[in-house]
């Protein structure tokens, strides 16, 4: 067992040749915890007789932020502004010697130093905006003075990071060097003007309008980007007046719902992508990935795997389909090249690493095979039968099925511990979420390998058990059902979509269905016909649209009309009539729903289904549900996910919303334990 580190080890001070070398060592990212801040202050005191002091960090990065785990409690002294003030006022000038990431509090510290030097490629940023905050130790006040308004705006309000080279070009750092230690002595005897004392002209009014528009566009309902802009504008006031205002706003925002939700998701993602049950289990090394089915999903998975550096064999039904799949993957890689995500030489290497074929032989030495053929049990079973004839017993076998039962897909396969679901989301080369599905016989090694693989693809893996729709699509079904009941009872698609967008969803439930295609939901309903509880209400409006060939955007019409190939749908009087006719036929008197009614009831339906999924052990915990919805379904991160939403709004609100849903559609909802009336 590792010994507990002595706290005094967090910051080491050594004095050599008149230079004080202060080294911060708080793995993994040298976060500025209370103990670190206290020791840094002490270290500033220790070097006061030196000619120069150097502040650097051990490990793979400079300070990459504050210790967010401390943000829920009242702040403890010494505060970060105490440290930055001490560094800036130090009689011995400080050189910040940086590598890795210099983020948030780390950059605030660097800006308070007299000099800044960095290794090539070091990245700088003020990502507080991403967790609903503004910097709290002079970041918004020093950044414009040091970087100019434009760069400071992009960093603080849009969360952008910049390289050492870009900062050097902007005059914000003194030196970029491979071996910066060797250059330190040149700073002896110089005392530059403090950054906080530099004069800066106010932002020109025309720029303010542009900044505001850009920040609002980026915010998509969040408040933090605009708070950052407000704090930046204070920088044209004297630092001593403006900095306390920044600090006060930072502390106030720590308690905001937005920041609490974003911090919840930040920690949830870290926990969920490293499940406790898989700790200490070494993943298999993967080099060669076989993908069977090169349609929409298979091509996206292939592109993501190639970009992650794997050799990929893509198997299609025939030569023509294989060629088509090759063209699709090439197009996706070309897109990544055009967007600057990959270099030309990486693109060339990835094209070389791709084999497209209509035979299984090329997959003989694959380490992992992912099936993405049609959503049909027999087709999938045939794929695995063919695969197991050519691959070795070690090859992991994964299905990308959305709704079929992996246990049925893998029935009879030798060594079933290597079989699992790896469920990607469309478009697979972009969407972060991956549900790693544990079938009855899946072994932990297979799961750990799938988690490592998803991590290599820079995705967010979440462990899921077997159930129709796993975690995400099961919640989606409940959400859609609630939305369709609401249509029948008085709301219109455009009203529901607008309400959910106002809540912060990327799209409302009906426009999202139009985009994906109504036939997917229809196929699900048809599959569920056999097992659906006979008491459950079934609204047929969606089926009627399908009967009319209104399958959504690609078909030119769905819940909305898309005249002349329009991308955004327009409310269609024909759909309104269809809904009115349905109400009439079923003797329903339409009632009115406020925006809040719509939001609360639909979110309660989601949270209830999420809680049931946790009750049944399909998801490990509520955090997993939140990560699934925020990383795969357009649920706003700054709302923290449906389970966090339920906690924020409170049990009694959720229960009343469920009461309303049940009263409108008796026998159609089953409650999770936590939301049962009378349950604590």
Rounded to the nearest whole angstrom, what is the least distance from the CB of residue 406 to ligand NAI in the complex?
Answer: 11
Shorter beta-carbon distance to ligand NAI: residue 316 or 620: 316
379 contacts ligand NAI (rule: CB under 6 A): yes
Pick one of 320, 374, 570, 584: the residue that binds ligand NAI (CB under 6 A). 374
- Please tell me the distance from the alpha carbon of residue 677 to that of residue 321, in angstroms, as a whole number: 55
CA 222 – CA 131 distance, rounded (Å): 10
**Minimal distance in Å, beta carbon 468 to ligand NAI?**
12
Whole-number Å distance between alpha carbons of 604 and 223: 24
Is position 385 an interface residue for ligand NAI (rule: CB under 6 A)?
A: no
Residue showing tokens 């993908």 = 291
Q: How far is the CB of 360 from ligand NAI (least distance, A)?
A: 9
Candidates 59, 148, 221, 295; binder of ligand NAI (CB under 6 A) is 295
Q: Which of 106, 298, 493, 610 binds ligand NAI (CB under 6 A)?
A: 298
39 is known as an active-site residue: no
Catalytic residue among 42, 70, 77, 128: 128
Stretch that binds ligand NAI, among 290-298, 334-342, 607-615, 651-659 (CB under 6 A): 290-298
Closer Cβ to ligand NAI, 400 or 631, answer by number: 400
User: Would residue 511 show up in a list of annotated catalytic residues for this protein?
Assistant: no
Q: Which C-beta is closer to ligand NAI: that of 552 or that of 640?
A: 552
Number of Cα atoms under 13 Å in the Cβ half of residue 514: 26
> C-alpha distances in angstroms, 293 versus 208, 376, 387, 434, 506?
51, 12, 13, 18, 29
At its nearest, how many Å lie between ligand NAI and the CB of residue 594?
A: 33
Is residue 426 a contact point for ligand NAI (CB under 6 A)? yes
What lies within 8 Å, CB to CB, of 573 at 6+ separation is none
CA–CA distance, 348 with 330 (Å, rounded to integer)? 10
**In what order do the strands lie in the sheet containing 52-57?**
11-16, 19-24, 52-57, 94-98, 115-118, 175-176
- Decide if residue 267 touches ligand NAI (CB under 6 A): no
Q: Which stretch binds ligand NAI (CB under 6 A): 106-114, 294-302, 592-600, 612-620?
A: 294-302
**Is residue 292 within the footprint of ligand NAI (CB under 6 A)?**
yes
377 touches ligand NAI by CB under 6 A:
no
* Min CB(286)–ligand NAI separation in Å: 20
Closer to ligand NAI by CB, 316 or 367: give it.
Answer: 316
> Per rule CB under 6 A, is residue 425 in the interface with ligand NAI?
yes
Distance from the Cα of residue 589 to its chain's centroid: 42
User: Does 388 interact with ligand NAI (rule: CB under 6 A)?
Assistant: no
- Is residue 294 a contact point for ligand NAI (CB under 6 A)? yes
Q: Is 569 in the site for ligand NAI (CB under 6 A)?
A: no
Of these, 372, 398, 464, 539, which contacts ligand NAI (CB under 6 A)? 372
The nearest distance, CB 295 to ligand NAI, in angstroms, is 2
Q: Could you give the string, one character per residue 308-347, with x where binding to ligand NAI holds by CB under 6 A and - elsewhere?
A: -------xxx---x--------------------------
First to last CA, the chain: 40
Site for ligand NAI in 63-92 (CB under 6 A): none
Instruction: Say how far residue 446 (Cα) sits from the centre of its chain.
Output: 24
Phi, psi angles (nearest 5°) of residue 141: -90, -40
- Paired with 396 in beta bridges are 368
Catalytic residue among 3, 14, 42, 108: 108
Should residue 127 be labelled a site residue for ligand NAI when binding is judged by CB under 6 A?
no
> Quick check: 296 binds ligand NAI (CB under 6 A)?
yes
Using rule CB under 6 A, residue 383 touches ligand NAI: yes
Q: What is the distance, to the nearest Å, from the Cα of residue 476 to the centroid of all Cα atoms in its chain?
A: 18
Residue 197: is the preceding peptide bond cis (ω within 30°)? no
Nearer to ligand NAI, 316 or 514 (CB): 316
For 339, which DSSP code? T
Q: Which is nearer to ligand NAI, 178 or 378 (CB)?
A: 378
Separation CA 532–CA 339 (nearest Å): 46
Residue 226 CB-half CA count within 13 A? 11
Packing angle of the helix pair 642-649, 622-632 (nearest 10 deg): 120
Structure tokens belonging to residue 632: 């795969």
Q: Which residue is nearest to ligand NAI (CB)?
A: 295
Pairing of strands 419-424, 433-438: antiparallel
> Site for ligand NAI (CB under 6 A): which residue of 401, 513, 599, 600?
401
Q: Which of 137, 134, 132, 133 is nearest to 107 (CA)?
A: 137
Round to whole Å and give the CA distance between 519 and 513.
9
Residue 417 binds ligand NAI, judged by CB under 6 A = no
CB of 303 to ligand NAI, least distance (A): 13
Binding flag, residue 373, ligand NAI (CB under 6 A): yes
State yes or no: residue 402 binds ligand NAI (CB under 6 A).
Answer: yes
Give least dist CB 292 to ligand NAI, A: 5
Question: DSSP letters of 352-404?
Answer: HTEEEESSSGGGTT-SEEEE---S-HHHHHHHHHHHHHHS-TT-EEEE--SSS
Q: Which is nearer to ligand NAI, 402 or 542 (CB)?
A: 402
Phi/psi at 251 (nearest 5 deg)? -65, -35
Taking the least distance from each CB to ligand NAI, the nearer of 316 and 609 is 316
Tokens matching residue 617:
């052990």
> Measured between alpha carbons, how far is 353 from 358 in angstroms, rounded to an integer?
17
Residue count of the chain: 680
Compute the least distance from the CB of residue 302 to ligand NAI, in Å: 11
Residue 375 engages ligand NAI in binding (rule: CB under 6 A): yes
| Binder among 81, 225, 275, 293 for ligand NAI (CB under 6 A) | 293
Exposed/middle/buried for 645, CB within 10 Å: 0-12, 13-18, 19+? buried
Q: Which span sits near ligand NAI by CB under 6 A: 4-12, 367-375, 447-455, 589-597?
A: 367-375
Binding status of residue 137 toward ligand NAI by CB under 6 A: no
Pick from 529, 584, 572: which is nearest to 548 by CA? 572
Beta strand pairing call for 311-315 and 288-292: parallel
The site for ligand NAI (CB under 6 A) is made up of: 292-298, 315-317, 321, 372-375, 379, 383, 400-402, 424-426
| Catalytic residue annotation | 108, 128
């Amino acid at each position: 067992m590792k010994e507990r580190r002595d706290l005094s080890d967090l910051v080491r001070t050594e004095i050599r040749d008149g230079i004080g070398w202060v080294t911060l060592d708080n793995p993994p990212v040298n976060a500025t915890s209370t103990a670190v801040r206290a020791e840094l202050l002490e270290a500033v005191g220790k070097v006061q007789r030196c000619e120069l002091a150097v502040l650097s960090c051990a490990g793979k990065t400079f300070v990459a932020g504050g210790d967010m785990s401390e943000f829920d409690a009242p702040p403890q002294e010494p505060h970060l502004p105490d440290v930055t003030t001490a560094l800036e006022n130090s009689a011995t000038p400080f050189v910040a010697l940086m590598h890795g990431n210099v983020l948030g509090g780390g950059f605030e510290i660097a800006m308070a130093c007299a000099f800044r030097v960095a290794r090539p490629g070091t990245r700088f940023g003020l990502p507080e905006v991403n967790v609903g905050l503004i910097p709290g130790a002079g970041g918004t006040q020093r950044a414009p003075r040091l970087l100019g308004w434009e760069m400071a705006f992009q960093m603080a309000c849009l969360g952008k990071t910049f390289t050492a080279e870009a900062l050097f070009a902007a005059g914000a750092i003194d030196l970029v060097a491979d071996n910066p230690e060797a250059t330190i002595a040149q700073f002896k005897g110089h005392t530059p003007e403090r950054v906080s004392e530099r004069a800066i002209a106010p932002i020109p009014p025309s720029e303010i309008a542009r900044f505001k528009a850009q920040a609002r566009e980026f915010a998509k309902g969040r408040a933090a980007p605009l708070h950052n802009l407000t704090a930046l504008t204070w920088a044209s006031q004297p630092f001593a007046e403006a900095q306390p205002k920044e600090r006060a706003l930072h502390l106030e925002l720590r308690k905001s719902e937005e920041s609490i939700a974003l911090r919840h998701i930040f920690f949830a993602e870290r926990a969920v992508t490293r499940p406790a049950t898989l700790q200490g289990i070494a993943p298999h090394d993967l080099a060669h990935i076989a993908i069977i089915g090169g349609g929409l999903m298979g091509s996206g998975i292939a592109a993501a795997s190639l970009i992650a550096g794997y050799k990929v064999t893509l198997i299609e039904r025939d030569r023509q389909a294989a060629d088509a799949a090759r063209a699709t993957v090439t197009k996706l890689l070309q897109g990544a090249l055009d967007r600057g995500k990959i270099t030309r030489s990486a693109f060339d290497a990835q094209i070389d690493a791709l084999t497209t074929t209509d035979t299984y032989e090329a997959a003989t030495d694959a380490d992992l095979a992912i099936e993405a053929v049609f959503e049909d049990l027999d087709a999938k079973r045939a794929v695995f039968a063919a695969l197991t004839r050519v691959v070795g017993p070690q090859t992991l076998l994964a299905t990308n099925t959305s709704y079929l039962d992996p246990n049925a897909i893998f029935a009879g396969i030798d060594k079933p511990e290597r079989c699992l679901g790896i469920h990607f989301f469309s478009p697979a080369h972009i969407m972060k979420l991956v549900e790693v599905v544990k079938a009855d016989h899946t072994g932990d090694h297979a799961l750990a390998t799938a988690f490592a693989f998803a991590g290599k693809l820079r995705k967010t893996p979440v462990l899921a058990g077997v159930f129709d729709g796993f975690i995400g699509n099961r919640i989606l079904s409940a959400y859609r059902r609630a939305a369709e009941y609401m249509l029948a009872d008085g709301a219109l698609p455009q009203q529901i979509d607008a309400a959910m967008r106002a809540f912060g969803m990327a799209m409302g439930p009906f426009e999202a269905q139009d985009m994906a295609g109504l036939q997917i939901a229809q196929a699900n309903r048809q599959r569920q016909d056999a097992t659906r509880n006979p008491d459950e209400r079934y609204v047929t409006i969606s089926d009627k649209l399908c009967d009319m060939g209104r399958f959504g955007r690609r078909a030119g019409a769905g819940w909305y009309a898309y005249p002349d190939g329009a991308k955004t749908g327009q409310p269609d009087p024909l759909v309104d009539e269809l809904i009115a006719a349905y109400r009439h036929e079923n003797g329903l008197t339409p009632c009115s729903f406020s925006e809040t009614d719509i939001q609360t009831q639909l979110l309660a339906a989601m949270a209830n289904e999420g809680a049931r999924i946790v009750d049944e052990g399909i998801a490990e915990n509520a955090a997993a549900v939140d990560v699934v919805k925020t990383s795969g379904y357009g649920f706003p991160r700054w709302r923290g996910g449906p389970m966090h939403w339920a906690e924020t709004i409170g049990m009694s609100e959720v229960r009343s919303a469920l009461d309303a849903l049940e009263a409108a559609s008796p026998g159609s909802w089953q409650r999770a334990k936590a939301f049962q009336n009378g349950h604590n």
